């Protein structure tokens, strides 16, 4: 038994290191659906940095059990932070009544619609980039900080789209 352990110590340590990384630091994920088109496509593979420290416009993964009753994870973009008032009027985003430029490609912004939402102190307001085809905070409300799995940081597939996710 000692010889078996000694001969395979590098393999055993490597497996332990990979498991540690995946459980606590970063894990791979696959995008399912079209709610984040153009930024992310169906079947894109990316890495998620685990934790719930996010800022405006980060793309996050979160559990939907409490929001939709489904045992799923959604991928959306953080628009509103805790305590803010998020509104959309005439295709313009406002945070606390100040206009905010959205520095990413929104698929058909006219589908966003006009609304106003006050974000709770432990929640985040999220939207899909493909506003006409996204189930998001406009439907289910804010995402609690505890339900955030992490933020998407790097796409590794398809190979022609490898790189940091903005």
> Domain extents for the chain?
28-164
Rounded-to-integer distance, Cα 135 and Cα 93, Å? 18
**Nearest CA among 135, 136, 88 for reference residue 112:** 88
CB 40, CB 46: distance < 8 Å: yes
Confidence of residue 66 (pLDDT cuts 50, 70, 90): confident
pTM (predicted TM-score): 0.87
pLDDT in tens, 109-127: 677 889 999 999 999 999 9
Q: What is the mean pLDDT of residues 92-112?
A: 85
Between 79 and 131, whose confidence is greater?
79
CATH 2.10.109.10 fits 28-164, yes or no: yes
Q: How confident is the model at residue 107 (pLDDT cuts 50, 70, 90)?
A: low
8 Å CB contact between 80 and 119: yes
**Residue 76 annotated in active site:** yes
Task: Give yes or no for residue 50 having a pLDDT over 80.
Answer: yes
User: Of 2, 53, 76, 161, which is the active-site residue?
Assistant: 76
Active site residue 134: no
- Active-site residue, from 2, 6, 27, 35: 35
Compute the average pLDDT of residues 139-163: 94
Q: 23 — phi, psi (to 5°)?
A: -75, -35
């Amino acid at each position: 038994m000692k010889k078996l352990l000694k001969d395979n110590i590098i393999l055993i340590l490597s497996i332990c290191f990979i498991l540690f990384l995946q459980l606590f630091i970063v894990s791979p994920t696959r995008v399912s659906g079209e709610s984040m088109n153009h930024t992310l496509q169906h079947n894109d593979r990316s890495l998620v940095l685990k934790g719930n420290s996010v800022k405006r416009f980060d793309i996050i993964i979160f559990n939907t059990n409490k929001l939709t009753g489904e045992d799923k994870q959604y991928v959306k973009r953080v628009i509103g932070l805790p305590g803010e008032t998020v509104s959309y009027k005439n295709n313009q985003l406002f945070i606390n009544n100040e206009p905010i430029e959205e520095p990413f490609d929104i698929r058909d912004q006219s589908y966003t619609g006009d609304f106003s939402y006050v974000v709770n102190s432990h929640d985040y307001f999220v939207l899909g980039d493909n506003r006409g085809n996204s189930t998001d905070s406009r439907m289910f409300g804010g995402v609690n900080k505890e339900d955030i799995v992490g933020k998407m940081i790097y796409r590794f597939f398809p190979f022609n789209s490898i790189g940091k996710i903005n």
